[in-house]
Structure 1
Amino acid sequence: MKTYIRRFERNDQLVVFYGGWGTDENVFTPLCNDDFDFILFYNYSADEALVLPEMKVYRKITLIGWSLGVWAAEYLSLKTGIKPNLTIAVNGTPVPADDQYGIPLKIFEGTLNNMTEENMEKFYLRMFGDKRTYRMNADRIPHRSIKSLNDELRWLYNRIMEQTEPGFRWDYAVSSEIDRVFPSENVNSYWKKEKSTRHIVLPLPHYLFNRWNSFSEFINFVEQFRKKRATGRKKEETVIKDL
């Protein structure tokens, strides 16, 4: 596992981010500014020792898990010892390889067994939603070798197959209607049964963070969101267009 750390002495807020499979710091550093410290965990390719800075006392710690990072947050949080004030799951579930609540098992295994440069380009295209968005976010495309991608996904698959019942507290779950990585029906089915988690559904693709200028903006949006899905899709779309 890799760790990316960005910190400033004066900051009293920390964002802890668990990235999805196949990512690196290039995907997320455009959302960093000087207002908060940032720790990114990614490339889960081995049971390696965690690399953590000496922890400061923070006024607020926000944990975000995105894609397979939702599962990774549950798997690794006890090991990190980081205790967040706010937790947000984005476009993922704690059971990521699952026909009902995650990526269907045949698709997950098919990705693992057919990893090529061409297929990875298709995967990143699905991640961003369409060719135009993919090209506009060329600077956020990860720089990873096929071997590292394969090693990571195999490690994730093996750990996921061993997993116990989820037991992490998620305050918010954000899911996308046009997600081409995690089927939206499966993600929605999982969070619908989690009554203690506020579920926000948005008309966006799997990678949605390019709609915000920073993680601070995204976190503020989530905390201020007071519209449930039942209030109507039109209102939700209006909120997004005004960002």
Structure 2
Amino acid sequence: MKLIIFFNGWGIKSLNFSVGNGWKIRYLNYPYKYEYEEIDLEYEKIIFVGWSFGVYYLNRFLEENPSYWSYETIGINGTPHMIGERGISKKMLEYTLENLTEESLERFYKNIGILDNKNISIFDGKKAISELKIELLDFIDNYIERENYIKKAIISKNDRIIKFKNQKKYFTENGSLIYEIDGEHFIFNEKKFVSRLVDILDEI
């Protein structure tokens, strides 16, 4: 059995998707604190995966914990430089914070690639608007650019949140192995993209 430590994106609790037998997923949400557990000794391998904002927080964790630098790391549609030309403009983040409502959150879900509320079942419930504002404010106020510890980067050609070309440029310049897919920012509700993720995991 192998373990994925999954650093989740903003706006999401946990995800109800499976990468098949032989894998277990442990989700980390804000404030993204991974604590080693005795049971971790039982796993054949531990792989760190970050998606969206989770890529940034995974790199923060690795910066602060050099003992994990030898572990395999995968970043999905996010960079360690999440504010600016390699991520999302600060102006857009501040606008989102100031105007966040249930309606604007639904638009966000559509923009990341969830077509309608039927797909919301992949989430383990929604976070409250007040929680999401706290998380986003903390991110903006305490943001610093991180070093890159992502060994494999999966980037979506149709990402409407973080431009594909910006992600590709960043990871090309910083030595990560890049996998390009045709999906949107959120890839976990389409079997073909989860299957691609499984293929990449199985290569490790």
Output the TM-score relative to the length of structure 1: 0.72
Q: Determine if the alignment matches structure 1 residue 36 to structure 2 residue 23.
A: yes
Larger relative contact order (C-alpha < 8 A, sep ≥ 6)? 2
- Correspondence for 1:210: 189
CA contact (8 A) 1:62 1:84 kept: no
Write the deviation string for residues 185-240 of structure 1: whole angstroms up to 9, x where unpaired.
2212211212x31111111011112233897x444422578xxxxxxxxxxxxxxx
* Distance of aligned partners of 1:165 and 1:41 in 2 relative to their CA distance in 1, 3 Å threshold: closer
Residue pairs, 1:30-109, within 5 angstroms = 30-31=17-18, 35-44=22-31, 51-54=35-38, 55-77=40-62, 78=64, 85-98=71-84, 100-109=85-94
* Distance of aligned partners of 1:117 and 1:158 in 2 relative to their CA distance in 1, 3 Å threshold: same
CA contact (8 A) 1:88 1:173 kept: yes
Write the deviation string for residues 2-49 of structure 1: whole angstroms up to 9, x where unpaired.
xxxxxxxxx3x1111000111101xx23226552332211133xxx86
Query: Could you say which structure has the larger radius of gyration?
Result: 1
Q: 1: distance between equivalents of 2:131 and 2:146?
A: 28
The residue type equivalent to 1:143 in the other structure is K
- Gapped regions of structure 1 (runs ≥ 5): 1-10, 226-243
Q: What is the percentage of aligned positions where both structures have the same residue?
A: 23
Q: 1: distance between equivalents of 2:66 and 2:122?
A: 27
Residue pairs, 1:1-243, within 5 angstroms = 11=1, 13-25=2-14, 28-31=15-18, 35-44=22-31, 51-54=35-38, 55-77=40-62, 78=64, 85-98=71-84, 100-128=85-113, 131=115, 134-141=116-123, 142-160=125-143, 163-168=144-149, 170-194=150-174, 196-212=175-191, 217-222=195-200
- Once superposed, what is the RMSD of the aligned Cα atoms? 2.7
SS of residue paired to 1:137:
helix
Q: 2: distance between equivalents of 1:147 and 1:80?
A: 34
* Distance of aligned partners of 1:118 and 1:220 in 2 relative to their CA distance in 1, 3 Å threshold: closer
- Number of residue pairs matched by the alignment: 200
Output the TM-score relative to the length of structure 2: 0.84
- Gapped regions of structure 2 (runs ≥ 5): none
Q: 2: distance between equivalents of 1:49 and 1:174?
A: 23
